[in-house]
Structure 1
Amino acid sequence: MIARRDYRLHNMDQGGRCRTSSERLDAAKVWVIGNVKFQKQEQQKMNYTYLLKCADDTLYCGWTNQLDKRLKAHNEGKGAKYTRARRPVSLAYYEIFETKEEAMRREAAIKKLSRKDKLKLVAGSPL
């Protein structure tokens, strides 16, 4: 299971409805990575801070505005230098932000955490 925290102002409930309106997600605009559903519109506007679990059991933290493409790039060896020699990688945790500055700030904060604290994030425990 992938842990996720959503810091968007207008996020979706479990029924696929926006909390600010009753519109349903268009099924053609939804795709799945692992067991997580994404929305095309969300990918274009949102910024993500994420943790990857590498093949050697280490964790890598980064940020992006297109999570699916970034994960694919990491696994193709076109992502960060750190993950190239540690493939395959899998998405372990992510958070969604409105702005890239918020995502970058959170990335810096997560990188300062100990491995133990990062694993707590992945497990879904609050810090």
Structure 2
Amino acid sequence: MYYVYILICADGTYYTGYTTDLAGRLRKHNLGQASKYTRSRLPVELAYYEVLPDKSSALKREMAIKKLPRLEKIRLADQV
């Protein structure tokens, strides 16, 4: 099982990623160990996630979300 997720950073920006362990990845982000981008924008908060069956579909969905305008990412986050 794979997860695609959107985080809201402390500075109001959005970060999109994928993982097989959502809780562990969120913990690593908040410890500053998951990505350079979020490390300087702590704390981060989980805003949205989707469950996908395999890595290929997770990567495709991650790229599709990253291409969305900010307003569309906000709309996705508001669905939760």
TM over 0.5: yes
AA of the residue aligned to 1:100: K
2:72 is aligned with 1:114:
no
What is the root-mean-square deviation of aligned Cα atoms in Å?
Answer: 1.1
**Between the two proteins, what is the percent identity of the paired residues?**
52
Q: How does 1:64-103 map to 2 (within 5 A)?
A: 64-103=19-58
Q: Distance in 2 between matches of 1:100 and 1:65?
A: 9
Query: Between Structure 1 and Structure 2, how many residues are aligned?
Result: 80
Structure 1 gap segments, 5+ residues each: 1-45
Larger helix fraction of residues = 2
TM-score by length of 2: 0.97
Residue 31 of structure 1: aligned partner: none
TM-score by length of 1: 0.62
Q: Which aligned runs of 4 or more in structure 1 are off by greater than 4 angstroms? A: none
Q: Deviations over 1:40-80 (max 9, x none)?
A: xxxxxx10000000000110000000001100000000011
Structure 1 or 2, whichever has the larger Rg, is 1
Q: Deviations over 1:11-43 (max 9, x none)?
A: xxxxxxxxxxxxxxxxxxxxxxxxxxxxxxxxx
* Residue of structure 1 aligned with 2:9, choices 36, 54, 57: 54
